[in-house]
Chains A and B, each alone.
Chain A
Amino acid sequence: MNAVEYISMLLQTGLGSLAAYLAAHVLLCLLPAFFIAGALSALIPKEAITKYLGRDASKWVSYPASALGGFVLAVCSCTIMPLFASIYKKGAGLGPAITFLFVGPAINILAISFTGVQIGMDIALARVILAMIFGVTIGLIMAWVFRKDDEEHNQATNNNNLFVHGAKVPTRTWVFFALLLGVLIAGTLQVGLLTNSYAGFTLPGSWAEGFQSRLDAWVPPNPALGIEGIGVQGVLLISLLVLIGVASWFGLNEVDRGYNAWTYTALVLISMTLIVASFKVAATPTGLSVGLTGKLFAEIILIGLVWWMASKRFETFEIQQWLWEMWRFVKQIIPLLVVGVFVAGMARVVIPASWIQSLAGRNTLLANLAGVLFGVFMYFPTLVEVPVAQTFLSLGMHRGPLLAYLLADPELSLQSILITNTVIGKKKTAVYVILVAIFSTLAGLIFGFFVR
């Protein structure tokens, strides 16, 4: 193979994974996940959680609250550090602050739903449960190791009522979350009730199969490397995504100032895209067969309810904040994710499978440690760790070390270690980093033992 052929093959693999990502499972998972993340950020007052994290809160309240708080408050890394610093300096102290710092990045809604769809529900659940257990454990250990410092600290900042004023999350907000979560689950859950077709029709024409075979030539499916091809439906979805991007740019950038025609265009396009993605489409010699799946009906009902609630049950300002936050997450994360998926896709051809298999093909202590170290030294932007993990998986990495890597990567990038350092100092940071490394390795080992 000469250089030109090699490069074009590289590009083709990168494009192949990108196209499959955008068109296939990702859409039904990431699109609703961004709306949920935006809602968490815009509709839940931070005080609703922080009131449990005051100086006088009992351990039985503050540790679980920090662990759960990560889910609600930490959708954006830029809120983690200020909250971490204030829980440590003014609130419940070092232990719960560390728990919050550890759990936050690992269990945010985007990361979890993305991991679940892309790599498997087992890893996603393990990531949530182990992150919570270990977050609390590491917090308790840190609080115990530095118990003397914490007491002095307690006396130094014995002031305020910062954490007491309460805030309640209204019922309508919970219902709204349930609906959004429903959209996410209905679109991604692989059960017969949702994925079966209950009726169908065929768009006649012989073009469908020809078009499909051309697509297969452009983006050849390669099951051995875990590269899926792209279908006729996928092309339609990617075009819709591009349109959404354009409409959102004009409609959502300043949505907190009011709606315009672009805003409605974008929102209608997004709803349509979710619905189009729910059809089961296949190219056949006689034409394009279209199946009406259970998930299609579920999505139509749920999206309808979301529209109704957003327009009737919330103040305009709340909805504007929600859309603004959602679009902000998209702008912040999607460009990096697109590049990440492309590069991770190309890496599948570049990295010899034998390397990964010999290093982390089995669930050993060394393999798990390698997973953790890779997570520390490679810094991937939010969510990009998922396609990277998928590349490793398709190259033959064992699921144990894979989990170790997925736990360590968002926790322990060099960058986050440096920032933590400025808040709690060198000694505490060093102990924290070592604890996280040990616990992530253990998590991988234990998980790997059970999944074989």
Chain B
Amino acid sequence: MIIKILGSGCPKCNRLEQLARDAVAELGVAAEFEHVRQMADIMQYDIMATPALVINEQVKSSGRIPQMHEISGWIQEAQVS
């Protein structure tokens, strides 16, 4: 599973990465993290605002920090499919 955090390095983006890492650790799944900082690369995705969470190239949330249980849910979903 590849988890990408899109964000210009703002505190919110770092917070999201930390939450996602915690979720992965809690679920005990194997995941690769990538923090996308370049504006041009971020704009490849259909998002309006950072921070955004992308799991296996699917945008899960953007412009906000999701709740922990949402993140865990997405990760589990991605694992099943």
Using known A-B contacts A46-B64, A256-B65, determine if residue A423 contacts B39 with beta carbons closer than 8 Å: yes
> How long is the Cα–Cα vector from A79 to B11 in the complex, in angstroms?
11
Interface residues of A, count at CB 8 A:
27
Contact, CB under 8 Å: A86 / B8: no
Q: Are A160 and B46 in contact (CB under 8 A)?
A: yes
Q: Which residues of B contact A46 (CB under 8 A)?
A: 48-49, 62-64
B67 at the interface (CB under 8 A from A): yes
- B67→A83 contact, CB < 8 A: no
Residues from chain A with a CB closer than 8 A to the CB of B65 are 256, 321
Q: How far is the CA of A216 from the CA of B10 in the complex (A)?
A: 43
Say whether A83 contacts B49, CB under 8 Å: yes
Q: Is the CB of A79 within 8 A of B50?
A: yes
The answer to whether residues A81 and B48 also contact, given A256-B15, A321-B65 and a CB cut-off of 8 A, is: no
In the bound complex, do residue A89 and residue B43 qualify as a contact, i.e. CB atoms below 8 Å apart? Answer: yes
Interface members, chain A 296-328 (any B CB < 8 Å): 317, 321, 324, 328
Q: How far is the CA of A16 from the CA of B68 in the complex (A)?
A: 46
Contacts of A163 in B (CB 8 A): 48
**With an 8 A cutoff between CB atoms, is B75 at the interface?**
no
CB–CB B39/A82 < 8 A: yes
**Is residue A50 within 8 Å, beta carbon to beta carbon, of the partner chain?**
yes
Q: Which residues of B contact A83 (CB under 8 A)?
A: 48-49
Contact between A81 and B49, CB atoms less than 8 A apart: no
A411 to B: closest C-beta gap in Å = 19
Instruction: Please state if A78 and B8 are interface contacts (CB–CB under 8 Å).
Output: yes
Q: Is B42 an interface residue (CB 8 A)?
A: yes
A85 contacts partner chain B, Cβ-Cβ < 8 Å: yes
Contacts of A45 in B (CB 8 A): 63-64
Contact B10 A76 (CB under 8 A): yes
Q: Is A332 an interface residue (CB 8 A)?
A: yes
Decide: A85 near B39, CB < 8 A? Known: A46-B64, A256-B65.
yes
CB–CB A79/B10 < 8 A: yes
Partner of A422 from the list B12, B39, B48 (CB cut-off 8 Å) is B39
Q: B47-81, CB under 8 A of A: which get 1 and which 0?
A: 11110000000000011110100000000000000
Give the secondary structure class of B's interface.
Answer: loop
Q: Which A residues from 67 to 123 make CB contacts under 8 A with B?
A: 73, 76, 78-79, 81-83, 85-86, 89-91
Q: How far is A36 from B34 in the complex, measured between Cα atoms in Å?
A: 33
Chain B residues contacting A321 (CB-CB under 8 Å) are 65
Please encode chain A, from 40 to 81, with 1 for each CB lying within 8 Å of some chain B CB and 0 for all others: 000001110010000000000000000000000100101101
CB 8 Å contact bits of A17-51 with B (1 = contact, 0 = none): 00000000000000000000000000001110010
What is the CA–CA distance of A256 and B65 in the complex, to the nearest angstrom? 10
CA distance A81 to B13 in the complex (A): 14
A81-B42 Cα distance, complex, nearest whole Å: 12
List B contacts of A451 (CB < 8 A).
none
Asked if A78 contacts B46 (CB within 8 A), the reply is no
The answer, among A50, A89, A256, A423, for a CB contact under 8 Å with B49, is: A50
Chain A residue at minimal CB-CB distance from B40: A422
CB <8 Å contact, A86 and B10 = no
B5 CB, min distance to chain A CBs, angstroms: 13
Docked CA distance A271–B62 (Å): 33
User: Cβ of B43 and Cβ of A86 under 8 Å apart?
Assistant: yes
Distance in angstroms from A405 CB to nearest chain B CB is: 27
30 A–B pairs (Cβ distance < 8 Å), ordered by A: A45-B63, A46-B62, A47-B48, A47-B63, A50-B49, A78-B9, A78-B50, A79-B10, A79-B49, A81-B8, A81-B39, A82-B8, A82-B39, A82-B42, A82-B49, A82-B50, A83-B49, A85-B43, A90-B43, A90-B48, A160-B46, A162-B46, A162-B47, A162-B48, A163-B48, A256-B65, A321-B65, A328-B12, A332-B11, A423-B39
Interface set of A (CB-CB < 8 Å, partner B): 45-47, 50, 73, 76, 78-79, 81-83, 85-86, 89-91, 160, 162-163, 256, 317, 321, 324, 328, 332, 422-423
3 closest A-B pairs by CB: A78-B10, A46-B63, A82-B50
Known: A79-B50, A82-B49; 17 extra A-B contacts, CB below 8 A, are A46-B64, A47-B63, A73-B49, A76-B10, A78-B9, A78-B11, A78-B12, A78-B50, A81-B39, A82-B50, A85-B42, A90-B43, A90-B46, A90-B48, A162-B46, A317-B67, A321-B65
